[in-house]
Structures are given as C-alpha cells and as structure tokens.
Structure 1
Amino acid sequence: MAFFCSIFFSFVFDALDGWCARKFNQVSTFGSVLDKVVDRISTGCLLVILSKYTGKVSHKDVKDSSNWLFKAYYGNRMFMAYCCVAVEVLYIVLFLLAENQTESLMDVLMRTAKQSLLISSILALSFFGCAIKQIVNVIQMKTAADLCVLYDIDKKQKP
C-alpha cells in the first residue's frame, strides 16, 4: 500500500508542479526538458521494481503476456525502436514548426498540412509511433497494478 501511495503522490505532485509553473509564469525550457527526463527515469525505476515482484529479469519479458500489442512492441526490436524514435521526432519536428510558444498544436498541424506533404507524412508516422508507445505505457501500468494486487493477495493468504 505504501508503494501505491508513493507512486500516486509522485504523479499528483508532478502534475501540481507543472500547473504551478504555468500559473505563476515560472516556465522554462530547462524545466520542461528536466520534467520529461525525470518522468522517464521514474517510469524506468518503477518498471524495474515491479519486474522484481514478478520474478522477471526485465519488464520487457512478455512471453506470458496475453496482449498482442504488448507482445508486438517488445517482441520486435525494430518496431519498439520505431515507436521510441517517433516520440522524439514528433517533439523535435513540432518544436521546429511552431512559429512561437503560444501557437496551438492544431494551428501548427493545419499550417503544415497545407505547406508540405513530406513533413505532414513524417508527423503522421511519428504520431502513430508515439500513440503506440503511449498505449503500451498504459498497458504496462495496468499490468503492473494487477501484479501488485495479486502479490498483495498472495502475501495476505500466506500465514
């Protein structure tokens, strides 16, 4: 239970930190990048800890998973690499295309769609890979939560 509460509060405080930064105009490029890096490190640490609960060597061990997307993602290194690179390419291309910091995502996408088929295609492919990666992240978190529950049930049943 302490583990679950720690993770929950970590997400809450991460969201609160971002909200406060925007509310009090304390936003910086460094802070934005640092937030993403810390999020990735936290997720990695969480996955390592949860994989130890199940006795697996890695969170990428999916041979007993029933989810086809999870198996496709971790079972094919090229597909996984495409999804990981797509996230970064999407961030970089959108950053380079934005004319200013206040331009909305939809404005950037609409302007780009009218100007360049090549860049629009790169964005579409990047968005697809990014979406797959985010779906896999949700599947991992759901699977990890289920495993934690099963671990706690098993622990309580043992005398």
Structure 2
Amino acid sequence: MAKDPKLGKLTVYLYIPNIIGYIRVLMNVVAFALCFSNKKLFSVLYFLSFVCDGIDGWCARKFNQVSTFGAVLDMVTDRISTACLLVILSQQYRPGLVFLSLLALDIASHWLQMYSTFLLGKASHKDVKDSSSWLFKLYYGNRMFMAFCCVACEVLYIILFLIAEPHSESVIDVLLHAAKQSFLLSALVLSVLFGWAIKQAVNVIQMKTAADVCVLYDINKKQKP
C-alpha cells in the first residue's frame, strides 16, 4: 500500500530535530525582541539557541531523522540570527562597516558553498574531502574543531554586545578597556578571538572554493558538444 504523501510530509515536519529548530526560532524571536531592554536575558536565549544547533544535529543522527528540510532550517536560522546580531553591533560600534562586512562574508560564503554543493551533486555542504585547503578540510572534518570555532565566534559577538555602551567607540578601544578591568574577560576574549579568526579564514576559503566550482561548471558546460 502506498504511503500518503501528506502524512509523510507531516512526519518530516514533526521530526525531533526539526521541532528543536522551531524552538530555536522562537527563542531568537524573543531574544531580539528583548535585546535592548534586557541584555542578559537576550544573551542567555541567544546562546541557548546556538547550543540547540548542536543538539538538533545529534538528535538527527541518533534517531535517524536527517532531512533536507531540517538542514535548510538549521542553516537559515544560524545565518539570520548571526546577521541580526551583527547588524545590532554595527549600530553600536564604529566603524559599523566592519560588522556589515562580516555579515556579507558569512552569507556569501555559505550561500555559494550550498549552491556549489548542489552543482557537484553532493549530499552535504560539509563534504570537502576533495578540497586542496588543509584548513578547510580540518574545519569540516573535525566536528570538535568546527564547534570550537563556531562557539568562539558567537561568544565574541555576545561579549561585544554585553560590554557595548550607549555611545561606544571602536571595537578595539572597548575591548582594551574591558580587558584592563578583568583578567578573566581578557583571557576569554583572547581565546575566542583565535576561533573567530579561524572561522573568518574558513569563510574566505569557502567563498573562493565555491566560486571556483561555479566557474568551472560554466566552463565545462560550454565545452560540451
């Protein structure tokens, strides 16, 4: 007996990792609604949403509920939440173009990577075994290393949001001032800066590699008889 397509669709929507994804979206909505009135609550909700990013992936593998919809929901939630925070930071620090440039790099690199994955017929954008970059392969090949870089990036942005003053100046000046007041904060910032820098380097490599795939696809397409 053939399965009802509507029932199958509903089943995918109700996968455990996808339900976690909906919760992530809700937490982010509440977090950004309260971001200026309650910075601490925002930071907690935002970080919990980010942690759930790892939990939903674990659940997808644990319960064999991996889905294309879940993967897209996961990435879209990541990109939008990070983008919103970077936009807020661009309004609190000068020059704001620094954060807008980071936003553009993040979206462009991931969009190109997803599209190049589609062109190559790969099942996942994390399949980079054929890449010539050791850093790129290390990032996507080692789950713990990738998690560290992603967490470091988000933690850095949260710290910058928390220590921002109503009329904050440059990012460097604010960080140096905060570091002088707390040794623990300075140690934390230094550690997350390393992971943040790695992630930005990977974004650049990812964007260039994916762009090359798109160009080669066009060249091969024109050469076919």
Q: Return the TM-score normalized by structure 1.
A: 0.71
Which residue of 192, 195, 201 maps to 1:135? 201
- The equivalent of 1:91 in structure 2 is 157
- 2: distance between equivalents of 1:138 and 1:82? 18
Point out where structure 2 has 5 or more consecutive residues left out of the alignment. 1-35, 37-82, 88-102
Partner amino acid, structure 1, of 2:122: K
Displacement of 1:115: 1.3
Displacement of 1:46: 3.7
Runs of 4+ with >3 A deviation: 38-46
Identity, % of aligned pairs?
62
Partner amino acid, structure 2, of 1:86: A
Q: Does 1:109 align with 2:160?
A: no
Point out where structure 1 has 5 or more consecutive residues left out of the alignment. 1-28
Q: Return the TM-score normalized by structure 2.
A: 0.52
Displacement of 1:102: 2.9
Q: Does 1:33 align with 2:99?
A: no
Displacement of 1:69: 0.5
Q: Deviations over 1:31-54 (max 9, x none)?
A: x71776x96667544432210111
When the two structures are aligned, how many residues end up with a matched partner? 130
Displacement of 1:108: 1.0
- 2: distance between equivalents of 1:62 and 1:140? 10
Which residue of 107, 125, 132 maps to 2:191? 125
Partner amino acid, structure 2, of 1:149: V
Displacement of 1:110: 1.4
Q: Does 1:149 align with 2:212?
A: no
- 1: distance between equivalents of 2:159 and 2:211? 34
- 1: distance between equivalents of 2:159 and 2:219? 46
